């Protein structure tokens, strides 16, 4: 299972880096682009904190910043996820955590990992649409292109 999640989160880094390059190298008017990219990083840190229980400068889910801050956050949080996966031995453990509303849940680590990866893919799809609306070609970030690279 470690190999599968390693591959998934290596893909996550690859895809996030493609979008980071496009965001960094283009001028755009729609601030939702930066907001969504920042949200990917925020959510990655929030979910990692829920699993590791570290409470290390965890942002709110929609905390915003500049595009450069968003890029740095996404890169840092993506790498931290990969580091976690490298060190993790058991993926079927169930953890208890509180969501942003304070509700308590129990979820398997493997399900959280799947959620985090899918969450990033979902929002990168939204980013692709927003970039197109700005006449900026979004990167091709489908998993199969990662596999072929």
123 is in an annotated binding site: yes
What residues pair up with 122 in beta bridges, in sequence order? none
38 is in an annotated binding site: no
pLDDT attached to residue 55: 67
Q: What residue ranges do the domains of the chain occupy?
A: 1-147
Mean pLDDT of the chain: 94
Per residue in 3-17, pLDDT (tens digit) is 999 999 999 999 999
pLDDT attached to residue 144: 96
Are 47 and 11 in contact by the 8 Å Cβ rule? The answer is no
Q: Give pTM, 2 decimals.
A: 0.93
For domain 1-147, give the CATH superfamily.
Answer: dinb family like domain (1.20.120.450)
**What would the two tokens of residue 67 be?**
């595009």
pLDDT surpassing 70 at residue 57? no
**What would the two tokens of residue 41 be?**
């990083």
Per residue in 84-137, pLDDT (tens digit) is 999 999 999 999 998 888 899 999 999 999 999 999 999 999 999 999 999 999
39 is in an annotated binding site: yes
């Amino acid at each position: 299972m470690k190999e599968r999640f390693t591959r998934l989160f290596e893909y996550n880094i690859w895809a996030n880096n493609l979008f980071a390059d496009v965001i960094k190298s283009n001028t755009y008017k729609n601030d939702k682009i930066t907001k969504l990219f920042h949200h990917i990083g925020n959510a990655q840190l929030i979910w990692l904190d829920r699993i590791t229980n570290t409470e290390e400068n965890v942002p709110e889910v929609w905390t915003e910043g500049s595009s450069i801050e968003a890029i740095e956050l996404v890169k840092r949080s993506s790498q931290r996820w990969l580091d976690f996966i490298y060190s993790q031995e058991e993926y079927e453990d169930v953890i208890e955590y509180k969501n942003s509303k304070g509700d308590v849940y129990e979820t398997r680590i493997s399900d959280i990992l799947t959620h985090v990866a899918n969450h990033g893919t979902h929002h990168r799809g939204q980013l692709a649409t927003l970039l197109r609306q700005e006449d900026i070609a979004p990167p091709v970030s489908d998993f199969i292109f990662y596999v072929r690279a």
